[in-house]
Amino acid sequence: MSKNPSNLRNIDRLIHEPARLMIMTQLYVVESADFLFLQNQLQMTPGNLSSHLSKLEEAGYVEIVKEFIERKPHTALKLTKTGRDAFKEYQQNLKRIFANLPE
Amino acid sequence: MNESSLREVEKRTYMSYHQDGLIDIFVGVYVLLFGLGILFSTVTSFSTWFVIPAIFPAVMVPIWMSVKKRITMPRIGYVKIGSRGVNKLMAIFIGLMVAGLGAFMVLTFASRSQAWALTLRNLIIPNGMIIMGIGAVIISALFAYTMGLKRLYAYGLLTLVLFFTGHYIIIPFAYLLVIIAFVIIINGSVLLMRFIRKYPLAPGDKANVEEPL
């Protein structure tokens, strides 16, 4: 892989997929959110959201926190430090690519 | 994906989280308590009315959170906003309120012996409603812009218009607060009813019961 920062190959393909980019963006601006909130905000089906979340979890970008709220089981989703760093790097890479494009 | 796109996503999150109107109802009740407290103190010379609004947040915030968990969470899910955007604004707002209160106390104390402080105090007190109206519209606009809640512009504008009117045609401050409170509570109630209708709960629905992952 080229070391050129403007190279498109430096783009994180896991984040670049539109549905996962939406999930990462939504989780980036909050501390945590649950499955239902993400589903409502992103207008995704449970199956689709679940499958993308699993991929992000496998990559270590999303953490699934099981907790109890008023004695009811609750699943909160949040970006890990790796996920936040990866998202910031993705942002920087995109900026560099667009900055280096000819007029 | 730049900073302004992130702000848009953040705004959409606030709009979604506050579409239930609960924040309006609670803020409205708070303003109403202030108004009724002042009204009550003028009728009965009960001078410690401000204790009620002072302890209100400590009592009402847990109630608000509980209502949010029962009404909002099962319908649109749960989100913890974190330390970006409006929380920073809230910290600045509380800081400014404390600084303003401190400045007012210093001014009151200094006006006993310093001529400049007395002049300044005599300028502020008779124009208090205009100053508060302008303050309210600035604060409302800041929160409206950060949170994307357009109704906050309307609340700020209403406060400005009422306080200006009250200043010139001499309407007691307490009455104005009660009017503002009722408008906010009614609007909040309408939003809450709309929200409940928009997101009906199926029988047996619970807040975010284990999702398949």
Q: Give the residue numbers in B contacting A (CB under 8 Å), as ranges.
A: 1-2, 5-6, 9-10, 12-13, 16, 69, 73, 76-85, 206-213
> What is the per-residue pLDDT for B113?
80
Report the pLDDT averaged over residues B142-149: 84
**DSSP-assigned letter for residue B201:** P
Between CA B98 and CA B64, with CA B95 as vertex, the angle to 5 degrees is 90
Residues near B210 by beta carbon (within 8 Å), at least 6 away in sequence:
A73, A75
Model confidence over B168-197: pLDDT tens digits? 888 888 899 999 999 999 999 999 999 999
pLDDT greater than 50 at residue B79: yes
CB-based contact, A103 to chain B, within 8 Å = no
Asked whether the beta carbons of residue A50 and residue B212 sit closer than 8 angstroms, the reply is yes
| Phi, psi for A44 (deg, rounded to 5) | -115, 155
- Distance CA(A70)–CA(A9), nearest Å, equals 47
| B16: nearest CB among A34, A41, A54 | A41
Q: For residue A33, how many other CB atoms are within 10 A of its CB?
A: 25
The full set of domain ranges for chain A reads 9-92
How far apart CA A77 and CA A70 sit, in angstroms, is: 18
- Mind listing the pLDDT tens digit for each residue in B116-134? 888 888 888 888 889 889 9
Q: Which residues of chain B have a CB within 8 Å of the CB of A46?
A: 211-212
- Section A37-54 average pLDDT: 93
Q: What are phi and psi of A78, to 5 degrees?
A: -145, 155
pTM confidence score: 0.78
Q: How far is A98 from chain B (nearest CA, A)?
A: 11
Percent residues over pLDDT 70 in chain B: 86
Of 3.90.1580.10, 3.40.50.300, 1.10.10.10, 3.20.20.70, which CATH number belongs to A9-92?
1.10.10.10
Tokens 């009204």 appear where?
Answer: B39
Phi, psi torsion values for A20, nearest 5 degrees: -70, -35
Q: B82 to chain A: which residues are within 8 Å by CB?
A: 29-32
